Amino acid sequence: ALYWDELNKLAEENSVDFYYEASIGGGIPIILPLKETLAGNKFREIIGVLNGTTNYILTKMAFEGATYGDALSDAQALGYAEANPASDVEGLDTARKITILSTIAFNSQVKLNEVYCEGITEIDTTDIAVAKELGYVIKLVAVAKETDGEIEAYVRPAFVPKSHPISSVNDVFNAVFLRADAVDDVMLFGRGAGSLPTASSVVGDIMEICRNIKYSSFGRHNGICYENKKVKDIFSTTNKFYVRMLVTDRANVLAGIASEFGEHSISLASLKQNTLSGEHAELVIITHSAKEADLRAALDSLMQKDYIHKINTMICLDGSDVAGQF
């Protein structure tokens, strides 16, 4: 992902092949289909579960009630996570992969530093439970969209509706969901890591190179970036959001919070209060679609209030309106 442009240009200059199927999704064929079988499509959206370590952790938390720490320790014991798991759990590994996919799909180079990246380290069992109650599961998703000639690319935890195919991708499996104008929706699913799945992709690339050598046909897939599209800043993007916060349990707190959101043009779809022991209460808020910059400004302002003790979590969500499910 860091040196893709340099390597691609070097391959073009020397009329040689540049293949890297195993760099994304282990044994899942995704790069060559984007360049060949699906090349006649205009892609609108890519949603990927592209990291087996984080998917395993979130699956353990969802199905077994494990804490993040326990699930991570289990993943390390099984060899799914490194001793230093930062690249996985902080989303960087996934960001590298969506950088490559979005570059190919949208025919315009997307650089790693243009992809917003957020990991799963702040997700806890309360968030998992709320997602389940609302008909969602939490996944670390890689998303890339093209709208009006601009690209939106990010990696972050998200509430994924149980009706979406990506929601059923569990354990260490990976999947890439594509939405395009001709084929509509396509999902590729399989083992995202492991010696044999990865070897399958590597050997496939080698065999393709051998065919090209035999027929003197080189570099057919190299020239894919013939456009120059803007990559949007995450703060200019719009989503619905789930926010969980710890507040003082006293009169007028809810009114103050609603007023602060309103001043930043944030419309609330629903609000639920869970009274805790002592003087505190936990609020779970679902917003209507809002610009990320506005939501962050509202939360920054709220953190200055004496009745806000902590903003626990902010997670984007997708799918149908969930306000009526509280």
Would you place residue 52 in the very low, low, confident or very high pLDDT band (cuts 50, 70, 90)? very high
Q: Rounded to an integer, what distance in angstroms lies between the CA atom of residue 171 and that of residue 56?
A: 4
Token look-up 């602060």 returns 260
Report the predicted TM-score, pTM, of the whole model to 2 decimal places.
Answer: 0.92
- pLDDT digit string (tens) for 164-223? 999 999 999 999 999 999 999 999 999 888 889 999 999 999 999 999 999 888 877 777
What local confidence, expressed as pLDDT, does residue 157 receive? 97
- pLDDT digit string (tens) for 293-315? 999 999 999 999 999 999 999 99
Instruction: Name the token pair of 46.
Output: 């890519």
Strand 290-291 with 238-248, pairing: antiparallel
Domain ranges of the chain: 4-213+221-231, 235-325
Q: CB of 119 within 8 A of CB of 89?
A: yes
- pLDDT digit string (tens) for 96-142? 999 999 999 999 999 999 999 999 999 999 999 999 999 999 999 99
Instruction: Quote the mean pLDDT of the chain.
Output: 92
DSSP symbols for 150-186: EEEEEEEEEEEETTSGGGG--TTEEEEEEEETTTEEE
- CATH fold of 4-213+221-231: Dihydrodipicolinate Reductase; domain 2 (3.30.360)
Q: Rounded to an integer, what distance in angstroms lies between the CA atom of residue 246 and that of residue 264?
A: 20
C-alpha distance from residue 184 to each of 121, 127, 161, 181, 317 (Å): 34, 32, 19, 6, 22
Active site residue 97: yes
Phi/psi for 316 (5° steps) reads: -80, 155
Among 35, 42, 60, 97, which one carries the catalytic annotation?
97
What local confidence, expressed as pLDDT, does residue 324 receive? 42
- CATH fold of 235-325: Alpha-Beta Plaits (3.30.70)
Instruction: Name the token pair of 174.
Output: 């990976």
